[in-house]
Homo-oligomer: A and B are copies of this chain.
Amino acid sequence: MLSGGDEDVPDGIGMARLQWTRLPTAEADGASTSAPADDELFSGAAVESLDYEVIENYAYREEQAKRSKFWVPYYIMLKWLFSLLIGVGTGLAAIFINLAVENFSGWKYAATFAIIKHSYFVGYFVYTLFNLALVFSSVYIVTNFAPAAAGSGIPEIKGYLNGVDTHGILLFRTLVGKIFGSIGSVGGGLALGKEGPLVHTGACIASLLGQVTCGCAAGVAAAFRAPVGGVLFALEEVTSWWRSHLMWRVFFTSAVVAVVVRSAMNWCNSGKCGHFGAGGFIIWDISGGQEDYSYQELLPMAIIGVIGGLLETPIESSFLAYGKQCSLSDAHTNPEKVSIGFTPGALFNQLTLYITKWRRTYLHKKGRRVKIIEACLISLLTSTISFVLPLLRKCSSCPEVEANSGIECPRPPGTDGNFVNFYCSRDKEYNDLATIFFNTQDDAIRNLFSAKTFHEYSAKSLITFLVMFYSLAVVTFGTAVPAGQFVPGIMIGSTYGRLVGMFVVKFYKKLNIEEGTYALLGAASFLGGSMRMTVSLCVIMVEITNNLKLLPLIMLVLLVSKAVGDFFNEGLYEEQARLRGIPLLDSRPKQIMRNMNAKDACKNQKVVCLPRVSRVVDIVSVLQTNKHNGFPVVDRGQNGESLVIGLILRRHNFSDFVKPASSKGKSIDDIHLTEDELGLYLDLAPFLNPSPYIVPEDMSLAKVYNLFRQLGLRHIFVVPRPSRVVGLITRKDLLLEEDSNTVTTELQSTSVRGLLNGKMLGGNAHLGRPLLDNLVIG
């Protein structure tokens, strides 16, 4: 009937198709909505997996048919070019941030050290003012310009790749805000790191080119100068699905980052970059440290692992319980205000809880100005603590060192070494608390990891630092500045690790035990206990310290800390994501799903079906009256029976290449159609996905979950149990020998295929005509 041209549908299809095409175009800049309602969740994973998930609709095929035979090589080239650009971009961003942070910090400490020769009070004033200015710039940029740049960003990216888009998380302005914001917050000496934000930065850059996974890897590769660790981080922690040829491209991006960063550092080595570039490519090189260990040491090392696993857990559990009781909804609306993270043990438990609660309920509701004041106050607090506490500490006399060990005590003025001389009465003294507290983070960690420096720190100083830094990290994390958790985690972990190391040295009385090694293991344990990564964290730790021989120890510690942590709760990012209202799908189905079936999951649903050919006004009315994102399209078969012919999405977008950065899209209400347009008929056939995945209604929900999760789907049709089996596909049926000649020919001639009759329709001209001749409404 349609093929012959009917009175009811006079030429309407062509017109209406334009109309339908207009709908998505109007919404194209927003592949997601800001308020996820119903099934309106955008699937980043699905976009990333376009290579794999075969897109099936006729419009897409039309596109495909237009492509020349050079399209596939062109597409591949472009993908690789994008990977290259992401690598270069992220590498440059990382260098820029590092350069800025290290120079600001360098100037700050140089100025302060110069002034305190004359007056400690003026020195304190300058130091505090410097920090305040930097933190203010950061929080000002973030609150006024890029609110999505606050926090670490990793939970949001993880959510994005799992299929949930958080509003504004990958915008260009977020990228800019993140870069400048983290320069301010890290340069301003707050108890937070730049590594998490760098992952987010990489993801933002990559999102411009549609390859967020590569960006995450690039971010880690740039942040830790750990290319392999970056690849593994992206695969283990961030993405929800994994393909071996994605790994291949991610690997390339990481390699590019490594080359870019190394080149820049080589260039900086000659002193062109000020305070930046003094160290080598390895951030905290401890390759000269302890390389062997006795079995006696395994116990204290395992204890470090247990500490790492425990430290992070009690608070979160109670915090979550609290969250569930009263204000999980708050977390949805104020995502950046949730403070968990480095909040260990019974001591800080209640403290964090109250701070978070108070901040959430009172502070941040009062607007930007309060956020800015809050950040500035925390900056003042941090500056004061890090300046004043070392003043109260008595200096120790320098250890006797061998002539050519490379250790200088105290460090010469103007350098970044160990053994800081701060408020010491004599020249040959150093202040152990100032060495870790009144220093840049990188130097503090390097000093904690340092080998051949027995008894450098007193237990009192380490405990003081641990307690104070921990408190600061807890207080700082919820503020409206970009904030990573890697470096604070390493600081805290290495402090208690070094404490354990000191006791081991005392207890075992051996000289080949290095406190620095225990500090490294402590850092690994804390990160393992909070982030619950294994392989990637292990590789990152090895790459940042350049000590492969410690690998088995790091593995052991990570295993223990992760196991202990898993006993209590989920990983940091998962918990953060949950508190922010990002619904992540776990890799395993929940136990309860084994006792449910597919029908149970959609028990309360009213399925809204669209007929294949309908009036535009009806479609608009359907779209306006419900919030579903996908609609089954039904039609009549040859014998008049009802048939489901496919799935049509609320939005429709062919672009399989570059996903536009997420932003608030236009809704159906924003599109105004004329009376004439509304009266037209629209054939949905060219736009629908003719074969979405289906499951029988009584399939176990756990099985459905696996299907959904493994293939990165957004919709599955639940259908009645089939009445017959047409065929049974086994491995053998899928082992087709591909003859390259035939493929090329077929690609050109038969990329458009009949829908239900299975006939091959040659050429593209058929697209204009209805494809379901035998299926139209009788």
Interface membership of A120, Cβ < 8 A: no
A734–B708 touching, CB < 8 Å: yes
Q: Provide the residues of chain B in CB contact with A167, threshold 8 Å.
A: none
Nearest chain B CB to A25 CB, angstrom units: 24
Interface membership of A676, Cβ < 8 A: no
Interface membership of A736, Cβ < 8 A: yes
Cα–Cα, bound, A535→B287 (Å): 23
A642–B742 touching, CB < 8 Å: no
Interface membership of A618, Cβ < 8 A: no
A252–B559 touching, CB < 8 Å: yes
B724–A720 touching, CB < 8 Å: yes
Interface membership of A427, Cβ < 8 A: no
Interface membership of A469, Cβ < 8 A: no
Cα–Cα, bound, A270→B54 (Å): 60
Nearest chain B CB to A667 CB, angstrom units: 18
Interface membership of A729, Cβ < 8 A: yes
Interface positions, chain A 349-384, Cβ under 8 Å from B, are none
Interface membership of A236, Cβ < 8 A: yes
Nearest chain B CB to A105 CB, angstrom units: 26
Per a CB cutoff under 8 Å, which of B52, B56, B607, B736 touches A592?
B736
Per a CB cutoff under 8 Å, which of B243, B722, B727 touches A605?
B727
Interface positions, chain A 257-299, Cβ under 8 Å from B, are 258-259, 262-263, 281-282, 287, 295
B719–A725 touching, CB < 8 Å: yes
Interface membership of A777, Cβ < 8 A: no
B702–A691 touching, CB < 8 Å: no
A729–B718 touching, CB < 8 Å: yes
**Could you mark each residue 52-73 of chain A with 1 if its beta carbon is under 8 Å from any beta carbon of chain B, else 0?**
1110100000000000000000
Q: Count of A residues near B, CB < 8 Å?
A: 137
Interface positions, chain A 96-135, Cβ under 8 Å from B, are none
Q: Provide the residues of chain B in CB contact with A245, threshold 8 Å.
A: 587-588
Closest to A162 in B: B731
B282–A548 touching, CB < 8 Å: yes
Closest to A544 in B: B548
B236–A552 touching, CB < 8 Å: no
B710–A711 touching, CB < 8 Å: yes
Cα–Cα, bound, A592→B551 (Å): 46
Nearest chain B CB to A311 CB, angstrom units: 20
B751–A255 touching, CB < 8 Å: no
Interface membership of A561, Cβ < 8 A: no
**Could you mark each residue 5-49 of chain A with 1 if its beta carbon is under 8 Å from any beta carbon of chain B, else 0?**
000000000000000000000000000000000110101000000
Per a CB cutoff under 8 Å, which of B51, B54, B597, B694 touches A694?
B694
B54–A728 touching, CB < 8 Å: no
Cα–Cα, bound, A542→B228 (Å): 10
Interface positions, chain A 519-553, Cβ under 8 Å from B, are 534-535, 538-539, 542-543, 546, 548-549, 551-552
Stretch in A392-400, A494-502, A626-634 with 4+ CB within 8 Å of B = A626-634
Nearest chain B CB to A521 CB, angstrom units: 14
Cα–Cα, bound, A548→B254 (Å): 15
Interface membership of A300, Cβ < 8 A: no
Q: Provide the residues of chain B in CB contact with A465, threshold 8 Å.
A: none
Interface membership of A599, Cβ < 8 A: yes
Interface membership of A674, Cβ < 8 A: no
Interface membership of A81, Cβ < 8 A: no
Interface positions, chain A 576-598, Cβ under 8 Å from B, are 583, 585, 587-595, 597-598
Interface positions, chain A 434-488, Cβ under 8 Å from B, are none
Nearest chain B CB to A21 CB, angstrom units: 23
Stretch in A208-216, A339-347, A753-761 with 4+ CB within 8 Å of B = A753-761
Cα–Cα, bound, A698→B760 (Å): 12
Nearest chain B CB to A198 CB, angstrom units: 18
Cα–Cα, bound, A599→B691 (Å): 13
Q: Provide the residues of chain B in CB contact with A701, threshold 8 Å.
A: 734
A630–B722 touching, CB < 8 Å: no
Cα–Cα, bound, A11→B693 (Å): 41
Nearest chain B CB to A491 CB, angstrom units: 23
Q: Given known contacts A597-B758, A758-B597, is B731 in contact with A585 (CB within 8 Å)?
A: yes
Interface membership of A244, Cβ < 8 A: yes
Nearest chain B CB to A246 CB, angstrom units: 10
Interface membership of A312, Cβ < 8 A: no
Q: Given known contacts A595-B747, A595-B751, A695-B693, is B731 in contact with A583 (CB within 8 Å)?
A: yes
Q: Provide the residues of chain B in CB contact with A588, threshold 8 Å.
A: 51-52, 245
A590–B728 touching, CB < 8 Å: no
Cα–Cα, bound, A698→B41 (Å): 28
Interface positions, chain A 734-765, Cβ under 8 Å from B, are 734-736, 738-739, 742-743, 746-747, 750-751, 753, 755-756, 758, 760
Nearest chain B CB to A589 CB, angstrom units: 7
A730–B714 touching, CB < 8 Å: yes
Q: Provide the residues of chain B in CB contact with A656, threshold 8 Å.
A: none
Per a CB cutoff under 8 Å, which of B539, B583, B609, B738 touches A725?
B609
Q: Given known contacts A543-B548, A552-B255, A698-B758, is B56 in contact with A607 (CB within 8 Å)?
A: no
Interface membership of A696, Cβ < 8 A: yes
Interface positions, chain A 214-233, Cβ under 8 Å from B, are 227-228, 231-232
Q: Given known contacts A717-B728, A746-B595, A747-B591, is B706 in contact with A699 (CB within 8 Å)?
A: no
Closest to A705 in B: B734
Contacts beyond the supplied A259-B556, A595-B751: 5 A-B pairs with Cβ under 8 Å: A546-B548, A592-B746, A628-B728, A644-B721, A707-B707
A-B contacts, 15 of them at CB < 8 A, read A38-B730, A54-B706, A56-B700, A232-B535, A251-B534, A592-B738, A602-B727, A628-B728, A632-B725, A697-B726, A706-B711, A714-B730, A715-B730, A719-B722, A719-B724
A-B pairs with the 7 shortest C-beta distances? Answer: A602-B727, A39-B730, A691-B699, A719-B722, A255-B555, A718-B727, A258-B552
